[in-house]
Amino acid sequence: MPAQKNIVILISGRGSNMEALLHAKLPCRIAAVISNKTDAQGLETARAHGIATAVVSHLDYADRECFDTALAAEIDRHTPDLVVLAGFMRILTPAFVARYTGRLINIHPSLLPAYAGLHTHEQALRDGVRVHGCTVHFVTADLDHGPIIIQAAVPVSQNDTAATLAARVLHEEHRIYPQAIRWLCHDRVRLNPQGRVSIAPPEQMGGPLISPGLD
Ligand code: GRF
């Protein structure tokens, strides 16, 4: 049996995606949870699960480069095979991203490439889209535009608020993030030299989503 991979999870707040990963019985070792905020709720959850935690506060560093260098040093103490951004609210420098090429992933609450950045649910409602969702992708220097591993789509109701839509999307985030990481742990997902993602053996096609539903 190959050795279990180490993963390090980076958070900034609530940590519900991190918690979903802790509950998912992943075939890897969650070596540490690191936050850039001392008061991140997710730190408590991680500690309650017996996971090592650390805080590297961006407020303690003069610029992004210095912060990212300190963050990388803390991450590397755990010799991670995979670095997982789970609600980590800092823009990372190209040097940091390059250091972890092919082993740095993120979850974003939209069907990328639509709605990169913040306030994705508000943007989706404003545009009147009928389908919205979430994306797990490799991180590149191009914010929220790295190669896509898996996406989940949800219907948008005309009665939705940003909060109801966010809750529906988050439910799917908690399903697709563990799946993506399971594939990565089993070396089934690869970022090829052309910057595209391949999944082996070829993945199951998901079902279609029609929204609103047909009569
Ligand atoms: C999630 O919606 C995630 O997609 C986005 O930030 C939010 C984090 O939520 N990147 P949580 O901290 O995992 O609960």
Residues 39-59: pLDDT tens digits?
A: 999 999 999 999 999 999 999
pLDDT at 109: 98
Does residue 9 sit within a domain?
yes
Please state the φ and ψ torsions of residue 42, each to the nearest 5 degrees: -60, -25
Q: Is 87 in the pocket of ligand 1 (CB under 6 A)?
A: yes
Domain of 105 in residue numbering reads as 5-199
Q: Is 14 in the pocket of ligand 1 (CB under 6 A)?
A: yes
163 CA from centroid of ligand 1 (Å) = 13
SS3 assignment for 112-139: CCCCCCCCHHHHHHHHCCCEEEEEEEEC
pLDDT band at 204 (very low <50, low <70, confident <90, very high): confident
Tell me, what CATH number does 29's domain have? 3.40.50.170
Number of Cβ within 10 Å of residue 112's Cβ equals 20
Does residue 214 sit within a domain?
no
Give the chain's domain count: 1
Mutate to test the pocket of ligand 1, among 10, 107, 132 (most ligand atoms within 8 A of CB): 107
214 CA from centroid of ligand 1 (Å) = 31
Atom 6 in ligand 1: residue holding the nearest Cα? 87
pLDDT of 187 higher than 80: yes
Does residue 204 sit within a domain?
no
CA distance 190 to 188: 7
Does residue 215 sit within a domain?
no
Number of Cβ within 10 Å of residue 108's Cβ equals 23
Q: Is 152 in the pocket of ligand 1 (CB under 6 A)?
A: no
* Averaged pLDDT for residues 80-107: 97
Atom 5 in ligand 1: residue holding the nearest Cα? 87
Q: Is 174 in the pocket of ligand 1 (CB under 6 A)?
A: no
